[in-house]
Structure 1
Amino acid sequence: MPQYTVCVFPGAANDTYDFNVNEFTIYAVTAISVLVLAGIITCLYHTSKMFTKSSRSADDDYLASTLRPDELKTLHLLQIDADAIVLCGTKPLASGAYGDVWRGIYAHTTVALKRVKSPSPASVHDFIHEILLLHTLESPYIVRLLGVRWRRLMDIEAIVEYCDLGDLRSFLAASTEENVSWSTKATILESIVYGLVFLHTFAPVIIHRDLKSRNVLLDSRNGTKLSDFGTSRILDDQKTLTNGIGTFQWMAPEVILGTQYTVAADIYSFGVILSEMSTHKVPYSDALNASSGRALSQQAILSKVTSGALRPTFAEAAPSWLLEVGNRCLSLDPTQRPTTLELTVLVRDFIGAATEY
């Protein structure tokens, strides 16, 4: 029987085939996994987007439902085309706990845009009522509302006149007692008083409740104006105000204590501004603990103010008329403080005295 020799070669071809199959399987599984993952992410994105859109729409609907028909009508009458305003800069002009102010251009004029920092239906509702209140306040001593803009009601912005010299607090901080004349200061104080006269003789009466140097704006052409009416309240015969609203250094003792207060609380705040005009410093920044020599805490300041043990400091070189009216405005007893109408008479005298000072 013939003998055959069988040659067996290494199975390189089969190994390569198996390797190619395995490699293909890995690539295929990876590709499918990536596609599935991308599909899941896309689905989640669109679901989230739809949910956000639905949530925002619900917020807008709820917000609109909290406003009276006449309030909504007023907002629409005040509405400015959103594209007609160009925002300037990448940072706000001013930033507070609840809102930001930006600079913009509208109709070839520089304007200020105020918006809520973290909008919620409640915070935007309060902001809208500030807008509606400001709309009723037409005075050369009150910052003027030019209109509002929004694409969604939750994103509403107030468009107000721009004051090119900034706020009084910044103005005082950037200057010294010596390089700002008392005639200039008296003119600023006069405008503040006239702004308060307008509010306190309004029908019904309006209490600002957050009068401070940061809320006094200065303009090279249009003078001095009061701003920020977010905490302002209308006072009538049926309403009693007891909420402690304001910035603590400028708060009247009765406001700190949470007892009933009136427009006299604004007069106290004006007295604090008088002290700032003399020192150029933030009120109570010089108040120290007698034993440690450290700055007093906010709680300690509030306690001393309500007991009458602490008052804002006046500079030694301050004119006598400033000290006189300042002490009256800072009286612990609200009934002993002058009214805004009394202040107008005093301020007129101050203007003459300041010119000679």
Structure 2
Amino acid sequence: REEDELSLQRHFIFSDSKRVGEDDTINTRLDTSSTGPYTGGQRQEHGGYSTSFLTAAQGGLWEDDIITAMRIPLEKLTKGKLLNKGGYGMVYRGSYRGEAVAIKTLLPEQRKTLAQINSFLSEIKIMAALEHPRVVRLIGVAWDSLADLCSVAECMEGGDLRTLLNHFEYHECRPHGFDLDKARIALHVAHSLTYLHSLDPLVLHRDLKSKNILLTEDLDAKITDFGVSRESSDRTMTAGVGTSLWMAPEVMMGERYGSSADIFSFGVVLSELDSHVLPYAAAKETDSGRVIPDTALLQLVSLGLLRIEFSLHAPKALIDLAHACVDIDADARPNAGEV
């Protein structure tokens, strides 16, 4: 019965999100923006948190239907070795009821920033809404306090695609081009985007790159890290998401964008699968040894002066597909279904 209720909750999750968003009190607690009545003036009380901060952040946890529906008991989690550490959080290998899991927590300094907590909660809510074989499965969210808030997802034993490609290039010396493994990974990522973009409202990943593509031991691919993902709307379609070599020109320029921005990123990932190295690697360092900043590279891309490159071993059909995906004209790019 509990599993049926959870399945039903996931089925109606987007309508639940809209309902929550219409409540001004709850919406300010879950908004990912840095503005709002709860983000300023955090007096240090209660172990480093102000009273208003605790009320706002914990209210977002206790009062949100989606978060509470996904809650699992923290005491049932066992945290193991650190798998990855980024600018905002850490991912540990762990176990939950006998299943290997990935446990994601915020860095200690981020736990005292309401905007980061809300962003983390928003990521959890989006992951809870997604159910597809090519998307990393969210198992639940656990907490006893803000200090131990964590999300729990299936553990992908094959690691991330970026690490695999480094292994291909520097250890295995696998030939460039597309073999069966790499072609299957590309197909799986395309399937994940087709799913996201078919939802109503559609979901934009907005940060697709090799680091956010995880693999099973058999090299089946699933996408993860929905920290900057959004449902498509007028409010979010012009929001910036930082600087990334996988970023579409219209996103970098702060223009309105849609699902074709994810398609651009997919085209860049195709170049990684072929060459095993980071995007625009050949252009990043000049003959004099000077390293060109990512922002400068992206400006060249937006002007049509630089685009992804492929090896002589890459099939022409895949090269043509990738170049179509990274067309400067967003309207000229294929959609995920066409890919």
TM-score bin, normalised by smaller chain: 0.7 to 0.9
Tell me how far apart the structure 2 counterparts of residues 82 and 258 of structure 1 sit (CA, whole Å). Answer: 40
For structure 1, which segment, 265-274 or 73-82, has the greater mean C-alpha deviation from structure 2 after superposition?
73-82
Contact 2:178 2:273 in 1 (8 A): no
Equivalent of 1:60 in 51, 54, 59: 54
Q: CA deviation at 1:110?
A: 1.0
Alpha-carbon RMSD across the aligned residues, in angstroms, is 2.2
Amino acid across the alignment from 1:144 = R
State the AA in 1 paired with 2:280: Y
Structure 1 residue runs without a partner (length 5+): 1-49, 344-357
Give ranges in structure 2 of 5+ residues lacking alignment: 1-43
Structure with the larger helix share: 1
- Would the aligned equivalents of 1:144 and 1:161 in 2 still touch at CA under 8 Å? yes
Is the Cα–Cα contact under 8 Å of residues 215 and 226 in structure 1 kept in the other structure? Answer: yes
Say whether the 8 Å CA contact 2:197–2:204 is kept in structure 1: yes
**Partners of 1:247 and 1:187 in 2: CA distance:** 28
Residue 196 (structure 1) shift: 0.2
Choose from 251, 275, 278 the match for 1:279: 275
Aligned mates of 2:229, 2:57 — CA distance in 1: 21
Structure 2 vs 1, CA of residues 285 and 77 (structure 1 numbering), >3 Å: closer, same or farther?
same
Choose from 204, 218, 223 the match for 2:220.
223
Matches within 5 A, 1:119-268: 119=111, 120-153=113-146, 155-176=148-169, 177-178=174-175, 182-220=179-217, 223-236=220-233, 238-239=234-235, 241-268=237-264
Q: Following the alignment from structure 2 to structure 1, what is the Cα–Cα distance between the partners of residues 57 and 244?
A: 31
Contact 1:251–1:269 (CA under 8 A) maintained in structure 2: yes
The 2-side partners of 1:87 and 1:116 are apart by 14
Work out the CA distance in 1 between the residues paired with 2:247 and 2:303: 13
Give 3-state SS (helix, strand or coil) of 2:311's partner. coil
- Residue 77 (structure 1) aligns with: 69
Partner Cα separation in structure 2 for residue 57 and residue 221 of structure 1? 49
CA contact (8 A) 1:288 1:295 kept: yes
Give the Cα separation in 1 of the matches to 2:312 and 2:292. Answer: 22
In the alignment, is the contact (CA less than 8 A) between 2:274 and 2:314 conserved in 1?
A: yes
**Secondary structure of 1:324 counterpart:** helix
Q: TM-score, normalised by structure 1?
A: 0.76
Query: Which whole-Å CA distance do the structure 2 matches of 1:203 and 1:252 have between them?
Result: 23
Alpha carbons 1:60, 1:154 under 8 Å: kept? no
Q: Which amino acid aligns with 1:140?
A: P
Partners of 1:231 and 1:194 in 2: CA distance: 20
Return the letter of the residue paired with 1:111: V
CA-to-aligned-CA distance 1:4-27 (integer Å, 9 cap, x gap): xxxxxxxxxxxxxxxxxxxxxxxx
**Distance in 1 between residues matched to 2:219 and 2:102, nearest whole Å:** 15
Instruction: Measure, in 1, the Cα distance between the counterparts of 2:338 and 2:283.
Output: 31
Map Cα deviations across residues 43-77 of structure 1 (whole Å, 9 max, x no partner).
xxxxxxx94337366533121345693x2x33223
Bigger radius of gyration: 1
Aligned partner letter, 1:166: G
Alpha-carbon spacing, 1:151–1:290, altered in 2? closer, same or farther (3 Å): closer
CA positional deviation for 1:286: 1.6
Which of 69, 87, 92 aligns to 2:79? It is 87
Question: How much does 1:318 deviate?
Answer: 1.1
Identity score, percent: 35
Closer, same or farther: CA 288–298 of 1 in aligned 2, 3 Å: closer
Aligned partners of 2:177 and 2:314 also within 8 Å: no
Which of 88, 91, 110 matches 1:98?
88
